[in-house]
Amino acid sequence: MSILVYADSANNKLHKSAFEAVSYASQMADGDQVVALVAGEAEGLESLGKYGADKVLHCKDAALADFQPTLIAAALKAAAEKEGAKTIIFPHDLSGKSVAPILAAKMDAGLVSGAVALPDTTDGFVVKKAVFSGKAFAHTKINSEYRIISVMPNSIEKKENEKSATIEEFSADLGSSRLQVKEQKMEEADLPLTEAEKVVSAGRGLKGPENWGMIEDLAKALGAATACSRPVADMDWRPHHEHVGQTGVAIRPNLYIAIGISGAIQHLAGVNQSKVIVVINNDPEAPFFKSADYGIVGDAFDVVPKLVEAAKSMNLDSNA
């Protein structure tokens, strides 16, 4: 038996969440073979072996040069049939959110999206996932013959489980797609927000876009990505893709530093699954302190420059 993993990529590069999905599969494998499928051109496929892939199927079909969810689902279905895989693992990133439901319907498989732990098989096949925007968890049982799980980014420890993955070319009849990609705008950030392990975020307390220099400096010194609250994105102080919260992106970094953000419930919905939360706010009554692990009551314009200094002298930017 095998477990199939969709290792997603863009512009020749595997996403970090692809490695997490492979690691998830290898941690649940229990003797099963872990097979990763890569759709379209991508480099460094052998590195999937480092996290436990036994085999990589590389589907280089020219139609997969663009992100074509229906065709990727067709490739995965063919691969699952060829490899005898009953369980398919996805990253719960924007690729997984698009492809996993298509495959689930095509295979008549139960899908649990956003898993935060390995399946519990003591009584059936039960997967824990976050619900109510991170305010609770649900244990969901999959009753179908085929099962699909998409794994929440940053929720599974990426265990190195060195194997030398064999790489095989794979082709299948993918059908065709009516969707044509005209233009692509990739973000310039080196580190997409959802994949970042450390995030420095700031809100309306910063007063204006001209004050973001120190936020960027702190992020750089810590090797972190930057984020912001909704009003900040709405006022165009920061780009929209940085907006975290219920209406923006949900993130789950190891470290979330919130500066000049009050901690409204809709903001918390996007960040409350962070492992460690630091709040810097000049109002000791700011609601965010209730969700914080560490807090500094103080003026951001005074505290942040000090942190930048200290972080620089500690050489923390190596992404430890």
Ligand X SMILES: Cc1cc2nc3c(=O)[nH]c(=O)nc-3n(C[C@H](O)[C@H](O)[C@H](O)COP(=O)(O)OP(=O)(O)OC[C@H]3O[C@@H](n4cnc5c(N)ncnc54)[C@H](O)[C@@H]3O)c2cc1C
Please report, as ranges, the residues that interact with ligand X according to CB under 6 A: 203-205, 229-232, 245-248, 260-262, 264, 266-267, 270, 281-283, 286, 299-301
- Of 127 and 303, nearer to ligand X (C-beta) is 303
* 222 binding partner (options ligand X, another protein, none; Cβ < 5 to 8 Å by kind): another protein
Nearer to ligand X, 138 or 235 (CB): 235
Q: Which is nearer to ligand X, 293 or 299 (CB)?
A: 299
Specify the residue, 207 or 275, whose C-beta has the smaller distance to another protein: 275
* Under 8 Å between Cβ of 148 and 90: yes
Nearer to ligand X, 172 or 264 (CB): 264
Picked from ligand X, another protein, none, the partner binding residue 267 (CB below 5 to 8 A depending on kind) is ligand X
CA distances from 90 to 37, 78, 148, 221, 241 (A): 10, 16, 8, 32, 22
The minimum distance between CB 219 and another protein, in angstroms, equals 12
Please say whether the beta carbons of 288 and 273 come within 8 A.
Answer: no
Q: Choosing among ligand X, another protein, none, which partner's interface includes residue 167 (Cβ < 5 to 8 Å by kind)?
A: none
Question: Smallest distance, Å, CB 234 to another protein?
Answer: 10
What's the min distance (Å) between Cβ of 52 and another protein?
A: 22
Least separation in angstroms between CB 294 and ligand X: 15
Q: CB of 256: closest distance to ligand X in angstroms?
A: 12
Length of the chain: 320
Give which of another protein, ligand X, none residue 286 binds (C-beta under 5 to 8 Å, depending on kind). ligand X
Q: How far apart are CA 229 and CA 215, in angstroms?
A: 13
Q: How far apart are CA 182 and CA 171, in angstroms?
A: 25
The Cα–Cα gap between 170 and 160 comes to 26
Select 123 or 169, whichever has its Cβ closest to another protein.
123
What's the closest the beta carbon of residue 281 comes to ligand X, in angstroms?
4
Residue 203 interacting partner from another protein, ligand X, none (CB closer than 5 to 8 Å by kind):
ligand X
Q: Identify which of 229, 248, 246, 247 has the alpha carbon closest to the alpha carbon of residue 238.
A: 229
Taking the alpha carbons of 29, 35, 40, 44 in that order, is the dihedral positive or negative?
positive
Query: Could you count the other beta carbons within 10 Å of the beta carbon of residue 236?
Result: 9
Which of ligand X, another protein, none does residue 283 bind to, with CB < 5 to 8 Å depending on kind?
ligand X
Contact 6, 107 (CB under 8 A): no
Beta bridge partners, 228, equal: 202, 243
Choose the one of ligand X, another protein, none that binds residue 57, judging by a C-beta under 5 to 8 angstroms depending on kind: none
Binds 159: which of ligand X, another protein, none (CB < 5-8 Å by kind): none
Cα–Cα distances (Å) from 150 to 12, 93, 155, 217, in that order, read: 22, 8, 11, 34
Please say which residue, 126 or 167, places its beta carbon nearer to another protein. Answer: 126
Least CB distance from residue 137 to another protein, whole Å?
4
**Measuring CA to CA, which residue among 23, 24, 18, 14 is closest to residue 6?**
18
Residue 169 or 173 with smaller CB distance to another protein:
173
| Those residues with Cβ within 8 angstroms of residue 60's Cβ, 6 or more apart along the chain or in another chain | 40, 41, 169, 171
